Structure 1
Amino acid sequence: MPSGRVHNLINIGAYSVLAAAALVASRQELIVVTQAQALTFTLGFAVGTFLLSPDLDLAEGRVDSKRHWGILGVLWVPYGLLFSHRGLSHSWVLGPLTRLAYVALMVALVVGLLRYVAPGVPLPEVPQPVSLKVVVPVVAGYYLSQWLHLVADGVRPDHGMKRSSRKIRRR
């Protein structure tokens, strides 16, 4: 299992190859990639690589992703206690969702607290409607970064499925 630094280098290398391939393909008019799509994909990929790594399930220890949060890294300790390393948090579909749900919960708690303590403080709003042209590249970048991490860890896409199917058969 690679270190956090090696995971970051793998993702940076893969992103570089993908970006170069997309640039060449768009110059040859094989694909169309807008600047907004490229930016949102890049943001999703960077967040998945540096801030929301699958290794946050080790957040009670020294984890690169936790350190990238700075002082807010302490917020990931409960996540590390909730999820065992290489358990659900290292699954291909639900693992990335657990981290997004955890961030959403933290944001909701902060917003709720702010509304209670300082009800007059204006809070930023999410622009409506949120376009699929924004959401799809962000989600694609985020999930690709997560999957590269799992591939480097040797986690197969059916990770956890064998244990789940055994539990179902026993009943």
Structure 2
Amino acid sequence: MPSGRVHNLTNIAVYSVLAAGVLVASRQELLNITPVQALTFTLGFFVGTFLLSPDLDLAEGRVDSKRRWGVLGFLWVPYGMLFSHRGLSHTWLLGPLTRLAYLAVIVGLIAGLLRFVWPGVPLPSIPQPISLKVLLPLLLGYYLSQWLHLLADGVRPDHGMRHARRKVRGRG
């Protein structure tokens, strides 16, 4: 299993090649990517690479992704206790979703606590409706960063299915 540094360098290398390819394809008018789409893809990709790594399931220990949260890194310790390393958190579809859902719960709890303690506190709101032209590149960038991590770890796309089938066979 590669170190966090190798994961980061792999993701940066793939991003660089992909960005160059998109730039060339855009210049040749083969693709039409808006600056907002490029920015949201990049944001999703780098958040997934540096802040929401699949290795947050090891958050009880020293994990680069947890460390990058600074003083808020402790918020990821329960996530590390909830998910075993290379378990559900290392599946291709649900794994990245578990980190997004966990983050949403944390943000919701903090917002609720702030509203309870300081009822008039102004909280930022998410613009409605969220355009698919913004949301899709954001999620694509995030998921691609996660999948590159899993590929480097040797986790195949059918990892979750094989794991579930083994459990069912073991009980039968």
* Distance in 2, Cα, partners of 1:166 & 1:78: 27
- 1:70 Cα offset (Å): 0.5
* Distance in 2, Cα, partners of 1:9 & 1:68: 16
- 1:122 Cα offset (Å): 1.2
* Distance in 1, Cα, partners of 2:21 & 2:104: 33
* Distance in 2, Cα, partners of 1:61 & 1:116: 32
Counterpart residue number, 2:23: 23
* Distance in 2, Cα, partners of 1:141 & 1:30: 20
* Distance in 2, Cα, partners of 1:163 & 1:75: 28
Counterpart residue number, 2:50: 50
* Distance in 1, Cα, partners of 2:134 & 2:162: 35
Deviations 1:79-102 (A, max 9, x none): 001100000000000000000000
Gap runs ≥5 in structure 2: none
Counterpart residue number, 1:134: 134
- 1:141 Cα offset (Å): 0.1
Instruction: Compute the RMSD of aligned alpha carbons.
Output: 0.9
Q: Percent identity?
A: 77
- Give the alignment's TM-score, normalised by structure 1: 0.97
Count matched residues.
171
* Distance in 2, Cα, partners of 1:167 & 1:149: 25
Secondary structure at 1:126's aligned position in 2? coil
Counterpart residue number, 1:74: 74
Stretch of structure 1 that moved more, 79-88 or 156-165: 156-165
Secondary structure at 1:160's aligned position in 2? helix
**1:123-162 to 2 correspondence within 5 Å?**
123-162=123-162
Q: Does residue 86 in structure 1 map to residue 90 in structure 2?
A: no
- 1:165 Cα offset (Å): 1.9
* Distance in 1, Cα, partners of 2:99 & 2:56: 8
- 1:72 Cα offset (Å): 0.4
- Give the alignment's TM-score, normalised by structure 2: 0.97
Residue identity in the other structure for 1:61: G
- 1:168 Cα offset (Å): 3.5
Q: Does residue 116 in structure 1 map to residue 116 in structure 2?
A: yes
Q: Does residue 38 in structure 1 map to residue 38 in structure 2?
A: yes
